[in-house]
A and B are shown apart, each in its own frame.
Chain A
């Protein structure tokens, strides 16, 4: 796990925020502390992602949040060449990855894969989280994105 301040994608993309009902707040508060915090049912201990107000497994409303190790396995990837947002013009191509977390019931996280966007990638590769801090500004609060990096020698 590494802390970094420079961002993978250029500034100007939408900043993340919890829904107005607060469903995802513990996750985004966790990323500010550089912790990977995900939803887990207090009754049946099933991990759940993305967050919901009920456990999909045992239908309990008693959901908790738990910190999990910031590491995973590359599950799928895409290399984006066409900018659908003006801010992306300055960074093409870029990599988006889907990371499976074996330590958390194989839930998956979306993120960018930091490093050379044109390097070959392998599904199954071990990856670790990189917490990417953003200052915010204007009406946007500071926030932290979870990015991923291939673990060398994996």
Chain B
């Protein structure tokens, strides 16, 4: 089969989207599973379809709310796709959309929901170390040294990148400032009403150098869902379809090496994924109107944007300014809902929802005439994934 036939380009669209109320960590009033149901039902309502039309599920990061339980609780007539993207963190957000889209194109299922539900008060937190008294295997090379949290796992990658390319702290700060600025327009955002200034950022405590408090994502409770269906069917539904131009997943050479031994260390792990994404989407970085880039930590966003070709590594200090990253008129409007830093840590599904809202023209920080809307999921984890949505198939 020729490569040009092996594509999902333009064949699938995001037809519905929704989220629950976003809460601070531990403050959800409903159980995690019930929030997943609420988001899925609301997304079906947004699309204008009956919930019972859903016949597939795709998620990532070992979501605890499995498709069979969801399909059973919702009384779905049949389940045609039960899919989990392997790998932790937010690396699978776009990957779950990719898997859902591929399943629709392959004819496995017709209406697939991509979802994520998190109630960290009810289960474990991500940002805390383990209480075990022994660390075995790969963990034995890091935990005894007080290297146990995600922030600590990524700080040395970012530090090395900053060393190699002369990146300044102000470049990381600009990412945080842009997220908070966009959150002030977004009533759903947990940090709505909490303005961030350069001064507040500079005076905030270090978590682990080079990450200040505001370089780190939040931890939140909530649930979100998007509904994918064929482009043909999406055109007949209630909302403007957000067509999937391309979705890609992967990991570079030996990025899973333990004890921080990935040969290419100072990387966000997008170097082989991004070129494949652009090739399948038929676009270049210059075509991207608005970008949602997963922020576990600001440094990863910066490396990811560099590796997606928006600037050279040594030009990061020029590109990464609040002016350039702000909607609606910045050079590269970034994380326009507030994202993981300031809207909600919905493990990046909120970024996919925001990318679709930009295509629909419904963002609270709308980029004028946004057509090509891109998402990068999970820098510095393994694997990572990407998504390009579009309003016009052109």
Chain A residues with CB under 8 Å of chain B are: 9, 13-20, 23-24, 28, 49-51, 56, 75-82, 84-85, 88, 91, 93-94, 96-98, 107-112, 123, 138-140, 145
B265, A76: Cβ atoms under 8 Å?
Answer: yes
**Contact among A49, A75, A145 for B145, CB-based, below 8 A:** A145
The 10 closest A-B pairs by CB, nearest first: A16-B140, A50-B258, A19-B137, A14-B135, A78-B155, A85-B129, A76-B160, A81-B206, A76-B156, A50-B259
Q: Is B163 an interface residue (CB 8 A)?
A: yes
Do A140 and B149 touch (CB < 8 A)? no
Bound CA–CA A56/B257 (angstroms) = 10
Q: Measured between alpha carbons, how far is A18 from B266 in the docked complex, in Å?
A: 28
Complex Cα spacing A82 to B139, Å: 20
Q: Which residues of A contact B209 (CB under 8 A)?
A: 78-81
B136 contacts chain A at the CB level, 8 A cutoff: yes
Cα(A14)–Cα(B159), bound, Å: 25
> Are A76 and B144 in contact (CB-based, < 8 A)?
no
* Minimal Cβ-Cβ distance residue in B for A143: B144
B134: interface (CB < 8 Å): yes
Establish whether residues A82 and B146, one from each chain, have CB atoms under 8 Å apart when the complex forms: no
B11 close to chain A: CB less than 8 A: no
Q: In the complex the two chains form, is A82's CB within 8 Å of B138's CB?
A: no
Which B residues have a C-beta under 8 Å from some C-beta of A? 127-149, 151-152, 155-157, 159-160, 163, 205-210, 254, 257-261, 265-266
With A56-B254, A78-B155 as known contacts, state yes or no: A96 contacts B147, CB within 8 Å: yes
> Who on chain A is nearest to B210 by CB?
A78
For A145, the closest partner residue in chain B by CB is B144
Q: How far is the CB of B3 from chain A (nearest CB, A)?
A: 29
Q: List 10 A-B contacts (CB under 8 A).
A: A9-B144, A14-B133, A18-B137, A24-B141, A80-B208, A85-B129, A91-B146, A96-B156, A98-B265, A110-B259
What is the CA–CA distance of A109 and B135 in the complex, to the nearest angstrom?
Answer: 16
Whether A110 touches B142, Cβ cut-off 8 Å, given contacts A81-B206, A82-B208, A98-B260, is yes
> Are B146's CB and A85's CB within 8 A?
yes
